[in-house]
Amino acid sequence: MLISSLKLKNFRNYSNFKLKFDPGGALIVGANGIGKTNLLESISYFAFGKSFQTSRDLELINFSKAFFRIEAEFVIQNKSHFFEAASDRSKKIIKINKVNIARISELYKYLKVVYFSPNDIEIISGSPVFRRSFIDQAISQYSFEYIQALRTYKRILKQRNALFKTDYSSKEKRVWDEQFAQIGTNIIKLRLKYLKNFIPLLEKYYEDISGNKEELNACYKYSFPNDNDDIFDNLMDHLLRIEEQEKHQERSLAGPHLDDIDIFIDSHSARSFSSHGQKRSIAIAMRLVQTELIKNKDNDTPILMFDDVLADLDKQRAKRIVEMLKGKHQIFIATPNITNYRSFGLPEIDLRHELGKTSEA
C-alpha cells in the first residue's frame, strides 16, 4: 500500500499545504521545528484516527483557526481510496471514499502504517505500559478480533474497578470476576498466539542488526501465577486471594492490563543492562517484525515512517536496516541531516522549499 497525495488545511503548522508522493516514499528534509514530524503525523492519522503525539485533536488545529481538515489518496491492494478527516472543537469526522466511518477502529481494516519513533526506545527502557501499548497496537493492526476483545476488556475492567467503590455482595463480585477473567483470558491467548510468531522473528531481526554478535530472547510475563497455563482458573484463583487488597486499592490488581513482556540480551535484562544503541536496535527490530507480520497476513506492504531514528545507531547497524527495507516498502524518513539516509535512494522533499511555494501561491 502507499499514499499518492496529501492535502492539509490548518493542521499543526500547515495552513494550506499539498504534496504528491513517489511510490518509493521520500526523504523529508528540513531544520528542526519546520514540521517534519507533523507531516508524518498527518499521514499516520488516517491509519489510527488519532495523533501519535497527543490524544486531543484540539492540539492539532493550527493556531487561531477553528478546525483542521486533511485529505489523502491511498492505493491499497492496487485500488485507489480517498480518505478525509476533519475536526473542530466539538466533533470529528472521518470518511473513506466519501462515506462516514461508524467507528475509528474501522481504519485498521484499511491502512497499515508502522511508525518508527525516537520515543520507541521507551518500549525497552520504560515501564511495562510502553510494552503493552506496543503489543496492543501491533496486534490490533494484525487482527481486528483483538480490537473488539480489547474494547470489551477495557469496559469490563472499568466496571469491575467501579465495583470496589461500592458495598458489593460476594455473588455480584463473582459475576464480574468471571466476565473479567474470561475476556482477560481471551486477550492473553490472542497475545500469546501473536507472540508465537513475533518472538522468533524478533530474535532473527535483532541477530541480523547486531551482526550475529548478541543473542536476544523474549517471553510473556503474567501479572498473576500461571505455572500450569490454565489461564482462566489461575486468574480466578488469584482474584479470590487478592480480594482484600483490590478492595483496599479500589482497582483490579491482576490481568492483561498489568502483564508485560520480558526481553533479554545474552540472558541479561535488556531494560536494565543493555546500552542505548542496543535498546534502539531492539525497538527498531520490534517495528520490523510488526511490519513483516502485517505484510504476511494482508499480502500488502505497510507504509513505513522513520522519524530520524537511525541516527543513534553505528553505521554498520544502520546500513543493515537499510538493506533489509530498500525497495520493499513506501518509506518516509524525516531528518535534519540528509547525508545519513542518501543510501536509501529516495526522492527528497525540502520542506523549506515546499512551504515557500505554498506561501507564494
Render pLDDT for 303-333 as a digit per residue (tens, 0 to 9). Answer: 999 998 877 777 777 777 777 787 789 999 9
Q: Are 319 and 283 in contact (CB under 8 A)?
A: no
Q: What pLDDT was estimated at residue 311?
A: 75
Percent of the chain with pLDDT over 90: 80
222 forms beta bridges with: none
**Cβ neighbours, 10 Å, residue 231:** 20
Mean pLDDT over 335-351 rounds to 84
Q: CA 284, 285, 286: angle at the middle one, nearest 5?
A: 90
Question: What are the start-end ranges of the E strands in 97-195?
Answer: 99-100, 113-116
**Residue whose C-alpha cell is 492473553:** 188
Strands in the chain per DSSP E = 2-11, 14-20, 25-29, 68-76, 79-87, 92-96, 99-100, 113-116, 216-221, 260-265, 268-269, 303-306, 331-335, 348-350
The predicted-structure confidence for 99-143, as pLDDT tens digits, reads as follows 999 999 999 999 999 999 999 999 999 999 999 999 999 999 999
| pLDDT band, residue 249 (cuts 50/70/90) | very high
Phi, psi of 69 (to 5 degrees): -145, 130
Distance CA 166, CA 271 (A): 39
Residues 299, 36: Cα–Cα separation, whole Å: 30
Comparing 50-59, 151-160, 233-242, the range with the smallest average pLDDT is: 50-59
Residue 89 pLDDT: 83
- Cα separation, 354 vs 19, whole angstroms: 8
Question: The C-alpha cell of 349 is what?
Answer: 522533499
Exposure of 57 in the CB half-sphere (CA atoms within 13 A)? 20
Write down the pLDDT at residue 228.
84
Q: If you average pLDDT over every residue of the chain, what do you get?
A: 93
Q: Is the pLDDT of residue 358 over 70?
A: no
Is it the case that residue 177 has pLDDT exceeding 50? Answer: yes
* Residue that is written with C-alpha cell 481504519 in the block: 107
- Of 189, 214, 192, 188, the closest CA to residue 203 belongs to 214
Residues 6 or more apart whose Cβ sits within 8 Å of residue 265:
214, 215, 216, 273, 274, 278, 282
| CATH code, 1-112+304-361 | 3.40.50.300
| pLDDT value at residue 321 | 79
**Cα 65 to Cα 56: distance, rounded to the nearest angstrom:** 15
Residue span(s) of the chain under CATH 1.20.1050.90 come to 119-299
- Closest to 278 measured CA to CA, from 289, 291, 292, 264: 264
Fold annotation for 119-299:
Glutathione S-transferase Yfyf (Class Pi); Chain A, domain 2 (1.20.1050)
Residue range(s) in the chain whose domain bears CATH number 3.40.50.300: 1-112+304-361
